[in-house]
Copies of this chain bind each other. A is one copy, B any other.
């Protein structure tokens, strides 16, 4: 029963040929409408892909990633690769699955570790400059899912998207896509960008009528305690909010 453990000797067994980490970097790209000075931007969920230059899957688009070294954890590897390939640092990476189906990688027996990160498009700004040279590009998620991605990266991306959608509704990750202080309209748009099915005509009312808001959001005030507002996107200035530190606890039992 436990002979593998009892008699293990590294030299006697076939061992994996590598432990790559693949990173799904989501961002929301806002394209302000140029027709009017003030208007809510159009937002779109995008994912960062690289184009492979060599075998296998030469020329195809793939998730960024690379091989773990013996001296680092897979998390460290993902952090390192993310920094190397996108100059993005100080990001919360989330490990969400391993991919280990036999034959998934023509180079050999590779068990891949998939992480996802949400980064603000501002953090990707200087990266975007080097995009053409590096064969690195942001793709709208829906478009990326239609591409023939390398390896099982379409599956990984699809799984990542599901995780992000769930977390968008159940945690405060929306803040990764927002500035420190934001308006409720911005928040609503970010949620809708990630989870198109979410519709809440009374969104403002909902969050301003005590319960939910008090657990999640708080109004941003200046030094004198005056509420701060922004008219960046609208004629009428909108109250600014920030997320609280509370971790909302959810339960299906009430």
Contact = CB atoms under 8 A, between A and B. Distances in A.
Interface of A: 1-2, 4-8, 10, 13-19, 50, 52-54, 64-75, 84-85, 95, 97-98, 100-102, 107-109, 111, 113, 134, 169-172, 191, 198, 200, 203, 206-207, 212, 215-216, 248-254
B75 A10 contact: no
Contacts of A212: 252-254
Majority-rule SS of A interface residues:
loop
B74 A13 contact: no
Contacts of A65: 5
Interface core residue of A67, A71, A100, A252 (most chain B CB under 10 Å): A252
Contact of A13 (B8, B67, B75): B67
A42 B1 CA distance: 32
Contacts of A54: 5-7
Given A15-B15, A254-B200, A254-B212, A102 B2 contact: no
Contact of A252 (B14, B52, B84, B170): B170
A134 B113 CA distance: 33
A139 to B, nearest CB: 17
Nearest to A170: B250
Contact of A98 (B1, B16, B95, B198): B95
Contacts of A50: 2
A2 B74 contact: no
